[in-house]
Structure 1
């Protein structure tokens, strides 16, 4: 059902653009935005930035590629700029390269830097007693193979078991081979809805949160400098107007309220893989607020 809603949304938006700007319909200058539709929040943010710059740059066409590509394949395709010319991702050393343009406006408002654990229902009492980082490191973590977080957790002294499917990841938790699955605070509802719906025995851990810098940006093919320029101008515009906050509230505020991050004990981890090329503008959009650090 979610897939059909997304297809309808994209078709409707494309129809509106074509009808509202017929003089550009067959222009070679018409901008095609080629991307992989994943989370609607990032898509809606991109659309808002593009819509607000139609006056300066003209209309555009959304051209989503619905194929499921691994991250490294996505990076290679963005570098080429043929199938995909923009994607949203974390600013890590193996992503931020000279072949890809980083649009220097953080887009996750810090939520991608917080990790909340999925645990076994009934295990909350164990986590209630964790009051030191050393005690936290006794928790065996589970992650998907290839997730960038695996190296970060291991670098910080955690034991991590990874696997290549979500089904086996959840099974490992329910069978007791791992103790928790840390998920980005911005994605935890998606995880439960898409991969754990109808599975009993799971719960969201209520007392702890891990934090390490993991800001998300839009990355654009170096062959599309105008697209990068347009996204930057558009994001700056919707940031100044408050529309960025509106998009965030529409997609993420309910989850943020439910997780109550400010009421949790936060453990700060080091991220040695954060790219030194990370743009420093608008740090208030990705730096951690002062929370309850033990």
Structure 2
């Protein structure tokens, strides 16, 4: 890409003792929600370590769907997107393999019907959980993960239906990311639903920054910046100070829950499980 060719050239140029900085546009999805704002802040943190250049962040006019984001990056109309990773995405684009949420998105709590906490309090093993039915979207990656773990799943193609199907006892629980269920229940106050209090289902589900395969220079700058942020503690400081994440950790009470871990068959063999800096450790919360 022309802008990044300019970056590479200018990195090596100076006039006397003065280094000339490039002004580089970074086109990205509009960050309207707290979740998207946090993801953008991680990108900004990474690029803040590049003192040789200045970055201008250019959002889309509207917030794009995931499928639209992927298409726009494929066509190089965007420079960076953030996605929950899959092997397909990692083959198509360049992944920056630093989980934006330290794997928090793979920590699932359940929406259940009012009055049924006792059923879940008696679950002490994954085999016990397999006696109950989960509800999920038909094409969600989570559905494949649960099915691969032999957890029964009832699906629908329409997300809003899941709340009414749960209320109607079509299934027993609705696994949600820890940042999701309280707002969703608040949006469905007409239904007798609540957040389950004792259990936590965990599987690796990292969200990464991705850049186009033709843009390795930008990928290298972001990777270097995130490595520096991890090394000096800035990444963790920003993560734990984020208001959305602070509220999620307070609501979910992760450290007090019984944890059941399952595998994610959709992950690349290059997923950096061995780097403990990258992953949330709920035992210290």
| Corresponding residue pairs, total | 260
Q: How does 1:1-294 map to 2 (within 5 A)?
A: 30-35=24-29, 37=31, 39=35, 40-50=37-47, 52-53=48-49, 55-64=51-60, 66-71=62-67, 73-82=68-77, 84-97=78-91, 99-189=92-182, 191-192=184-185, 196-249=187-240, 250=242, 251-279=244-272, 282-286=275-279
Once residues 53 and 117 of structure 2 are traced to their aligned partners in structure 1, the CA distance between those partners, rounded to angstroms, is: 53
Q: TM-score, normalised by structure 1?
A: 0.78
Q: Displacement, 1:143?
A: 1.1
Q: Displacement, 1:54?
A: 5.1
> CA offsets, 1:1-46, max 9 Å, x none?
xxxxxxxxxxxxxxxxxxxxxx98xx7x522322353522212222
Once residues 118 and 65 of structure 1 are traced to their aligned partners in structure 2, the CA distance between those partners, rounded to angstroms, is: 34
Q: Displacement, 1:189?
A: 4.5
RMSD: 2.6
Q: Relative to 1, partners in 2 of residues 1:78 and 1:230: Cα closer, same or farther, differing over 3 Å?
A: same
Does structure 2 retain, via aligned residues, the 8 Å contact 1:144–1:165? yes
Q: Relative to 1, partners in 2 of residues 1:283 and 1:96: Cα closer, same or farther, differing over 3 Å?
A: farther
**Larger Rg belongs to:** 2
Once residues 275 and 30 of structure 2 are traced to their aligned partners in structure 1, the CA distance between those partners, rounded to angstroms, is: 26
> CA offsets, 1:184-220, max 9 Å, x none?
2244445446xx3544412111111111111221111
**Structure 2 segments unaligned to the other structure (5+ residues):** 1-19
> CA offsets, 1:227-255, max 9 Å, x none?
22222222223323333223322231221
Deviation larger for 150-159 or 184-193: 184-193
Does structure 1 retain, via aligned residues, the 8 Å contact 2:230–2:277? no
Q: TM-score, normalised by structure 2?
A: 0.80
Report SS of the residue matched to 2:88: coil
Once residues 213 and 289 of structure 1 are traced to their aligned partners in structure 2, the CA distance between those partners, rounded to angstroms, is: 14
Once residues 261 and 165 of structure 1 are traced to their aligned partners in structure 2, the CA distance between those partners, rounded to angstroms, is: 29
Report SS of the residue matched to 1:227: helix
Once residues 158 and 93 of structure 1 are traced to their aligned partners in structure 2, the CA distance between those partners, rounded to angstroms, is: 22
Report SS of the residue matched to 2:28: strand
Once residues 180 and 218 of structure 2 are traced to their aligned partners in structure 1, the CA distance between those partners, rounded to angstroms, is: 27
Q: Displacement, 1:70?
A: 4.2
Q: Relative to 1, partners in 2 of residues 1:288 and 1:245: Cα closer, same or farther, differing over 3 Å?
A: closer
Does structure 2 retain, via aligned residues, the 8 Å contact 1:112–1:185? yes
Report SS of the residue matched to 1:49: helix
Q: Displacement, 1:290?
A: 5.9
